[in-house]
Amino acid sequence: MAGRSLASSGMLKVSVGVLLRLPVIRALHKRQLLFPTVVSIIVAGVLVQGALDRGQPVGLTSESEEPVVVPVPRPIVRTDLEKTPLTYFSDYWNQLAEGARENLIVVGPMSTPGILVGPKLALTTVQPALTLLRQRNRLVLTREEPEETGPEGESDEAESDDPDSIAEDVMERLIDQAGPHRLRAWDEELGLALFDVDDASETAFTLSDPRRLPSGSYLGAVTLDGTGEPTVVPGYLVATVAEADPDFGDLIVSMDLPATLSVAAIVDLDGAMVGLAYSSDAGPRVVTTIEMLGLIEALQTKTICRSIEVSDLDGEVQRTLGVESGVLIEYVRREAFAQVPSLQAGDILLEWSGTSLESADQFVSVFDAQTPGSLVRYRVLRGRRRVTGGTIMPARDCDPVTSAPVRLLAFGLAVQWVDRSGGGAESTDGWHVVAVAPDGAADAAGVKELDYLLSVDGRRVADEDDQSILEAAAASEEVIVLSLLRDGRAKLIAVPPLTGDEAPAEGETETDK
C-alpha cells in the first residue's frame, strides 16, 4: 500500500512538472497569477453553461418528455389557535364567534337574535315581544267569535264548556309563529324582553365581571346575522362606570357596533360574557353583566297592575265543587273597569278570554296578554250556577278604557277610539285602525294599522258617539269607502266585504286555501 501511494505521488509530481514547463503556465506561476487565473476560468465556464441552459424548460430531459409539475407547498393552518389576537387575528375572532353559536338563538316571528343568559332563559330586545302581542291582538280582533251558548247574564248549570275557543286557536297559531320559545316578560321602557327556552340542550353563556379586566383588554360583540350565522365585531374595553347611564349603560367599549344592532353578547378572549349590547331608543346601549342581571330581575319582578287577583284552588275544593279546573277570584278592582263587570270576589273563574284556567300563574299570563280596550269573555262558577259575561280590558295601570274596538269582521279590520289629546296637532282624539286581518279585504285594499279614520261612506266619524256609524258599516254587505289620514295625507280606499265563499271557515285562514 505504501509503495502504491508513493507511485501515485510521483506521477502527480511528474504531471505538475510537465505543466510548469509550458511557457504560459510558467510565466503565470512566476508572477503568482496561476491560481487566480484557474479560478476565473472555472467561474466563466459556470456562467457560460448557465446562459446556455436559461432558455430550456424546467424539468425537460428531452424534447418528447412532459414538464415536471412541482407542487407549491401550502401554509400550515393550525387547528388550535393560540389565545392571542396578535397572531392569526381574524381567524381567532371567527373561531370565537363560532364557539358562541350554541349560546345564541333566534326568537319571535322575525327570528330576532337572542342570548342565553340562564337555564332555559333567553334575553333579547322588546321588538319580538311587541310583534307577538300585535299579532295576537290582530288575530283576536279580526276573527269571528264562537256563538254564545247562553245569555250574557246567568246561564243554565248544565251549560257545557267549549274547549275549541277562539283564544286557544289564536294562541296555538302564535306559538307556531314564535317557534319553540315562549314570551315570559317584557318592558318597553327598558327595551328588553325575556323568553322561556323549551329546548333543554341549549346552553347559556358563562358570565364574568368586566371590572376585573384592565382597560385596553380585547373584547368582541358576538351575535347572529340575518342568515342565522354567528358574527363578531372585535374591540377593546375602555372602562366601567359606577352607575349605569340610562342612555349608554355602564360599560364603555371601543368597537364599531352596527347601526342595525339588535342584541349582542360582549365576550372576552375566553368566550365568557362580560356585557350586553342592544339597541334602544337612544341608540346602542352597552351594560355590564352585573347591570344586565339587575335588568333581568326587574323584568321578572315588575308588577303590572291587575284589576283581578286570583289564587289556586285546593284539590279537595275542586272535587267537592265538581270542577276540573279554575281559580278563585280574591279581589276585583271595580274602579278599573269602564263598565263594572259581573265578576265578584269569591267566584270560581273557569275561563278567561276563552282559555280554561288551570292555575293562578296561567291566569296572569293570559291576563297580561290582553290588549287594553279589547272585549274579553269570561265564565265563572257562582254557587252552583255558571255565569258568562264580557268586559272591556282596563289599561295596565288599572285606568279604565272607555271604548272597546269596533270590529268590521266582513272587511277584515277593527277600529277603536283613541284618546291622544295633548300630543300635538296630529295627535288628537279619534278613531284609529287598530287591527287589519292578514290577507283580508282591508289588507288587500291597502288599509294599514294606525291609520286615522276620518269618515265612512261620506259620514264623518269625529266623535266617540259616532260608534253607531261604524257598527252600521260593520253590518253592511256592500262596499264601504273609508277616508283615512296617514302621515298627514288623506286617502280614499274602497273595501269590499268578503262573501260567504271567500270568508275563511272557522279555524281556517286565507293562507290555508
Q: The CATH number of the domain where 376 resides is what?
A: 2.30.42.10
Q: What is the mean pLDDT of the chain?
A: 78
| Residue 251, domain extent | 89-126+188-301
**Better-scored residue on pLDDT, 204 or 28:** 204
Those residues with Cβ within 8 angstroms of residue 486's Cβ, 6 or more apart along the chain or in another chain: 448, 451, 452
DSSP letter, residue 366: H
Let me know whether 174 and 201 are in one domain: no
Please, which pLDDT band fits residue 145 given cuts at 50, 70 and 90?
low
CATH of the domain at 230: 2.40.10.120
Question: Are 381 and 348 spatial neighbours (Cβ–Cβ below 8 Å)?
Answer: yes
Let me know whether 294 and 316 are in one domain: no
Question: Are 92 and 214 spatial neighbours (Cβ–Cβ below 8 Å)?
Answer: no
Let me know whether 269 and 198 are in one domain: yes
Residues 23-77: tens digit of each pLDDT: 777 777 777 776 777 777 777 777 777 666 655 554 444 444 555 555 555 554 4
Burial of 115 (0-12, 13-18, 19+ CB in 10 A): buried
Q: What is the pTM of this model?
A: 0.59
Please, which pLDDT band fits residue 82 given cuts at 50, 70 and 90?
low
Task: Annotate 378-427 with DSSP letters as a single string.
Answer: EEEEETTEEEEEEEEPPPTTS-----PPEEEGGGTEEEEEE--TTS-TT-
Let me know whether 449 and 490 are in one domain: yes
Domain count, the chain: 4
Residue 507 included in any domain: no
Let me know whether 270 and 367 are in one domain: no
Let me know whether 312 and 454 are in one domain: no
Let me know whether 487 and 459 are in one domain: yes
Residue 364 included in any domain: yes
Residue keyed to cell 372585535: 234
Residue 363 included in any domain: yes
Under the phi-then-psi rule, with left for phi > 0, alpha for psi from -120 to 50, and beta for the rest, what region is 108? left
> For residues 38 and 20, what is the distance between their CA atoms, to the nearest angstrom?
14
**DSSP helix/strand/coil, 141:** helix
**DSSP helix/strand/coil, 24:** helix
Residue keyed to cell 265563499: 501
Let me know whether 198 and 297 are in one domain: yes
pLDDT of residue 403: 72
Please, which pLDDT band fits residue 86 given cuts at 50, 70 and 90?
low
Residue keyed to cell 300585535: 134
CB atoms closer than 10 angstroms to residue 187: 15
Let me know whether 114 and 222 are in one domain: yes
Let me know whether 174 and 193 are in one domain: no
Q: Which amino acid is at 63?
A: E
Let me know whether 293 and 329 are in one domain: no
> For residues 235 and 221, what is the distance between their CA atoms, to the nearest angstrom?
8
Boundary (domain end) residue, out of 366, 392, 418: 392
